[in-house]
Amino acid sequence: MTTDSFYSSKIEHLKKDKNAIVLAHYYQEDAIQDVADFVGDSLELAKKAAQTKADIIVFAGVYFMAETAKILNPTKKVLLPDLLAGCSLADGCPPDAFADFKAKYPNHKVVTYINTSAEIKAMSDYVCTSSNAEKLIRSIPINQPLIFAPDQNLGTYLNKITGRNMVLWKGSCIVHEAFSLEKLIDLCLEYPEAKIVAHPESEDPILRIAHCIGSTSQMRNFIINSPFKTFIVATEVGILHQLSKEVPNKKLIPAPSRKDNSCACSECAFMKINTLEKVYHCLLDETPEVIVNSSLSKKALIPIEKMMQLS
């Protein structure tokens, strides 16, 4: 028995004993995805968390995702295998600085990406994910000035496709901002038949040459349903785990990073801080638990619920 199968079978037993579910983002390590009851993108995971009848949700993802799950379903016990699983977007948008930023634009409404803390959500009029951001922004009257935070790459892309001029907070994702255009072009020359799929957290030069731009699940659906056979994938490499099982006849090439080739650059270090062993221990000991102050939770829920209704 391998170490992974040892922990997986313990986790399966604990899930039944405790009426618990494991929700995992596509960027989690393979063994965690394999033990999860559901693997999805940010929006799908939020929906699952809101609907579950389980008593315990083990959220194998990052802090803002587990916090959103707790806000959506506050009577459940929400566990995060490692509380240090942060996010460069959420961590790069501190509430005090954002309050000052927001105060400079009193006529603007605030749209925030789900990759933020509960405090930022509580200061927002709308919350979105990468899969519904365009739809949400198009639902707001064009003459309503908007702030978009915290991802400037996603914000730039949304301004471009919706014709808006949203004021952008200058945050970015350390994984998606690191793709190298130069190396990507070299790869396209090597695989001229390849289609490029990119997450909108990527920088504009990458998005300009992409054949499909979308959330993690939208990228997956494009690859699964496309008649083409070769894809260069500009997002966190964890997405390739399920895909390589679902479309074993297709060639999936991770987009190259600007960083040194020797590191696993398109892995999110925050996502990968969770391990199967930590999932096991957190379910066994029912800790660490994600707690959200109830008045903050109620305020943050208002813009999240608008998003859930739209989706």
| Selection from 130, 134, 93 nearest residue 114 by Cα | 130
87 binds ligand SF4 (CB under 6 A): yes
How far is CA 3 from its chain centroid? 28
88 binds ligand SF4 (CB under 6 A): yes
Tokens representing 54 are 């389980």
In contact, 266 and 56? CB cutoff 8 Å: no
**Among ligand 13P, ligand SF4, none, what binds residue 88 when CB lies within 5 to 8 Å by partner kind?**
ligand SF4
Identified binder of ligand SF4 from the candidate list 29, 41, 203, 236, rule CB under 6 A: 236
Distance CA 24, CA 39 (A): 5
42 binds ligand 13P (CB under 6 A): yes
CB of 56 to ligand 13P, least distance (A): 22
How many distinct helices (H) and strands (E) make up the chain?
A: 15, 12
User: Residue 112 contacts by C-beta under 8 Å, 6 or more apart in sequence?
Assistant: 120, 121, 123, 124, 126, 127, 128, 148, 149, 150, 303
122 binds ligand SF4 (CB under 6 A): no
Nearer to ligand 13P, 119 or 201 (CB): 201
CB of 65 to ligand SF4, least distance (A): 8
CB of 100 to ligand 13P, least distance (A): 25
Which residues form the interface with ligand SF4 (CB under 6 A)? 27, 62, 87-89, 115, 173-175, 201, 236, 268, 270-271
Which residues form the interface with ligand 13P (CB under 6 A)? 41-43, 87, 115, 129-131, 173, 201, 215-216
